[in-house]
Chain A
Amino acid sequence: MMSHAAFIAAAYGVAALGLLGLTLALLLDNRAQKRALADLEARGVRRRSERRVP
């Protein structure tokens, strides 16, 4: 039988892990998309609105 303190610690631990995991996943995804966009732009592929008029 777990003590009450153990239930409190488990609840806060799961919450911290869940929120840190979510934040990390969102930050890594953001970094991956930024990198992919920079890579495409370095290859000269640009949005129509960003293309220079000759």
Chain B
Amino acid sequence: MALIDLANPTRFLAWSGRVLPWLAAVAVAVLACGLWLAFQAPADYQQGETVKIMYIHVPFAWLAMFGYSMMAASALGILVWRHPLADVAHKAAAPIGATFTFLCLVTGALWGRPMWGTYWVWDARLTSVLILLLLYLGLMALRAAVDDPGRAGRAAAVLTLVGAINLPIVKFSVDWWNTLHQPASVFRMDGPTIDPAMLWPLLTCAAGFTLLFLALHMLAMRTEILRRRVEVLEARAAAEAIA
């Protein structure tokens, strides 16, 4: 079966119904393993035990950007191919991405207070992630404000692509500006600067949270397809009642 054949709501429901329980189970298992490794990992020589916050904060930050990248790819699917499943994927990703971005900000604040002496500073990294959260919330509000789902989807897709300019700003803000936030220490041209004793638990946690994100997104997509079917059937039932 070609990949494009799966991009059909009915086939997606059948396929995802079989995959979702396994994906969720693997996500929970990998995440549990990652968190266990995180609590076995040594304390940082400067930060002490507060480095434990890294094992959740960093995956939340990565997935905040991953979620928005996924929405930007879906936005292209909406505007270029007008594919209904792209619209479903776009709409379903927004609340999940918003939650991960919110958790990134909160866990970052709770890590910042003991390390920097403050919960928040208006520096480039923190501010650009706050803008990312506002973009997610704005996209959800835009969809809720426009009655016609087709117009809402296209408007949200355009806004998503405009907002995608924020992604490289989030990523490179620590290099372009003088910020309180530390520079990248995993995805670097010269390789990670974290000790393997901390890197592997971090990567395992990141894999677990990524699988969880994908499982939640699949569930939300299934729900959105069902919601659209309910809306169509309710409209038909109302039309038949009038006739």
Contact = CB atoms under 8 A, between A and B. Distances in A.
Nearest to B47: A4
B93 to A, nearest CB: 12
Nearest to B237: A45
B52 interface: yes
Interface string B220-243: 101100110110111011001000
Contacts of A5: 49
User: Which residue among A11, A18, A41, A45 has the maximum number of chain B CB atoms within 10 Å of its CB?
Assistant: A11
Interface string A1-32: 01011011011101100110011011101100
Chain B interface mostly? helix
Contacts of A4: 48-50, 114
Contact of A7 (B95, B114, B223, B233): B114
A29 to B, nearest CB: 5
Contact of B50 (A7, A14, A23, A30): A7
B66 to A, nearest CB: 16
A15 B100 CA distance: 9
Contacts of A18: 99, 102-103, 106
Nearest to B56: A15
Interface of B: 10, 48-50, 52-53, 56-57, 60, 95-96, 99, 102-103, 106-107, 110-111, 113-114, 212, 216, 219-220, 222-223, 226-227, 229-230, 232-234, 236-237, 240
13 contacts: A2-B114, A7-B113, A8-B50, A11-B56, A12-B52, A22-B99, A29-B223, A33-B230, A34-B226, A45-B234, A45-B236, A45-B240, A47-B233
